Copies of this chain bind each other. A is one copy, B any other.
Amino acid sequence: MSQTSDSLPPGELLTAKELEIRRLGPCSVPSPFLGLDKGFVEDADRILAYSDISTVEQLTATGSPLPSFAIAGPRTQIYFRPEETTCALVTCGGLCPGLNDVIRSIVLTLNHGYGVRRILGFRYGYAGLSPHGFSEPMLLDPASVEHIHMHGGTLLGSSRGPQDVGEMVDTLLNWRVRILFAIGGDGTLRGASALVEEITRRNLKIAVIGIPKTIDNDLAWIERSFGFSTAVGEARGAIAAAHAEARAAWNGIGLVKLMGRHSGFITAYATLASGDANFCLIPEVSFSLEGGFLDILHERLNARHHAVIVVAEGAGQELIEAETDGEQERDASGNLQLKEIGFFLRERIETYLKGRGMPMSIKYIDPSYMIRSLPANSMDSGFCLILGQHAVHAGMAGCTDMLIGYWNDRFTLVPMNLATGQRKQIDPQGEIWQRVLGTTGQPVRMRSAT
């Protein structure tokens, strides 16, 4: 296929083996939904991992079984007895619209759906699972989560960084937790995998279910992650602001930095949604300054007298590092803002254009904190609600080391290591980037010959 999908990570094809459901053991408890819900799912209900015809034909030709994901959903038989099961939740990493929706959905489904009576919320990320954590877990019930989806942030608090795995398992044991729902990104899910390993090593029957959180939408084998739609929606507003500022000045420049450490999905989709951006800079497509981007910007200003630039936070990192000889990491006073691509670009643009005698005005907008702290929009809210329900179904059915994915319009069960082992990125030859180029009118290549 000459055009690749942006959702598929590069590399070896998956094998059917590595997509199997991981379970604590056989399920022998009848689901409380029996007789009520008709939407039960069996393990054999699966959806293809690859659906482009050439890959499927290639696999079929070799006689390999077609790799597929298990469909998420309630099982007729479950593993845990709800009324005896203590469940716990933890949210980690940066804020993302929808965190509270996921928390709320898990709590409501555990309580109303399965009749679980004891639900704990560990506070401030994995730190809350450490004996050195700031505070005890909070008890969660339907009343405590009734309205939280109307607020951004996370009821439980969050933090970054791992904790001692042994201590964390001890904490789970102390609180008699049988299912832990870990809501977080790449690092969080790696932490959850480490927990599973330690739990397995100790031969415990504790399930760990991940709910992938990445506002950047950059997890492999996850077509769509919650909060992304809300983020793109709000990002458009920041670009509109940059556009108004740019047009109001002679050679006005509006510069917007958006989220995206390694993948430019928010930046690219916001560019498509806006129609006002003239340059879209993402981590996946490198560019140079003199002899590249700055020259082209200069030309555009000469022709049109304003320009709007949207840049992902992870774009152009190699340019900053080149200039600073990697010295920055060693700066003890913590002056990290120099690695910030927004400030860096602003300064380089000013220097370059002033050096060419061009009167100009640049306005820099960084809406990141205002975006990630929003309540979820409707599409994300509904999506989070379903994610939370499926997480509970998976946990009660004794699944572990799995996360709730979304693939080909279905919710799936994905082995945790699959999503963290590789990253989803924008393919410079793929659909999205070609649409971005068509929209901004920027050249395919903004690099100097070197």
A412 to B408 alpha-carbon distance, docked (Å): 14
Stoichiometry, as copies per complex, reads 4
Which chain B residue lies CB-closest to A6? B409
| Interface status of A127 (Cβ within 8 A of chain B) | yes
A53-B66, A370-B365 in contact; A410/B275 too (CB < 8 A)?
no
Say whether A273 contacts B53, CB under 8 Å: no
Q: Are the C-beta atoms of B275 and A39 separated by less than 8 Å?
A: no
- Give bound CA distance, A46 to B134, whole Å: 53
Given contacts A73-B431, A127-B250, 8 further A-B contacts (CB under 8 A): A3-B41, A5-B409, A39-B430, A134-B250, A154-B248, A157-B249, A234-B378, A245-B369
Instruction: State the Cβ distance, A99 to closest chain B Cβ, in Å.
Output: 9
Known contacts A44-B54, A46-B53, A39 near B429 by CB under 8 Å = yes
**Residue on B with the closest CB to A429?**
B38
Contact call A51/B408, Cβ cutoff below 8 A:
yes
Cα A73 to Cα B3 in complex, Å, equals 9
Interface-centre pick from A1, A377, A379, A389 (highest chain B CB count, 10 A): A379
SS class, residues of chain A in contact with chain B: mixed
Instruction: Tell which of A181-189, A198-206, A235-243, A286-294 binds the partner.
Output: A235-243
**Whole-angstrom CA separation of A373 from B365 in the bound complex:** 11
C-alpha spacing A53/B65, complex, angstroms: 10
Q: B52 to A241, Cβ gap below 8 A?
A: no
Asked if A411 is an interface residue, CB under 8 A from chain B, the answer is yes
Q: Is the CB of B73 within 8 A of A275?
A: no
Kindly list chain B residues whose C-beta atoms are within 8 Å of the C-beta of A433. Answer: 39
Contacts of A381 in B (CB 8 A): 236, 272-275
In the assembled complex, A81 has its CB within 8 A of some CB on chain B: no
From known contacts A373-B241, A386-B435, infer whether A46 and B52 are also in contact, taking CB-CB under 8 Å.
Answer: yes
